[in-house]
Amino acid sequence: DVQLQASGGGLVQAGGSLRLSCAASGFTLADYTTGWFRQAPGKEREGVSCISGSGGSTYYKDSVKGRFTISSDNAKNTVYLQMNNLKPDDTAVYYCAVDQITVETMCKIPPADSFRGQGTQVTVSS
């Protein structure tokens, strides 16, 4: 069964941290570019951070640079998003998706048909 499972969301105060996990089953994440996306109520979906299958290339949305770090663990077939110094504007449903395109394309122009998992809610209180 091919699945992407996102987890790690929750409620945190501004300035706090969370680590999101995107675990794959039924296929190998290292064969794909993985992206973290978010969508807040009334707002468009946006690419937050993306990483190549090899882990050697990453992309970050400007507003999260210096606060978020994307990483991959091939042994665990999992991609992580470490989120530090969280702000209320980071509040959204976060989900991960995979595709076979560059990290910049994945994050800037995410294909509508990329394989994705269910989302995890991140709520940052002020």
In tens, the pLDDT along 87-110 reads 999 999 999 999 999 999 999 998
CA distance 113 to 82: 26
Query: Alpha-carbon Rg of the chain, whole angstroms?
Result: 13
Residue 3 confidence (pLDDT): 94
Q: Is the dihedral of CA 23, 7, 54, 34 positive or negative?
A: positive
Which residues of the chain have a pLDDT value below 50? none
Opening angle at CA 94, ends 44 and 7, nearest 5: 165
Residue 87 confidence (pLDDT): 98
Residue 113 confidence (pLDDT): 87
Residue 111 confidence (pLDDT): 87
CA distance 86 to 6: 18
Name 122's Cβ contacts closer than 8 Å, sequence gap at least 6.
Answer: 9, 10, 12, 18, 20, 38, 83, 86, 90, 91, 92, 93, 94
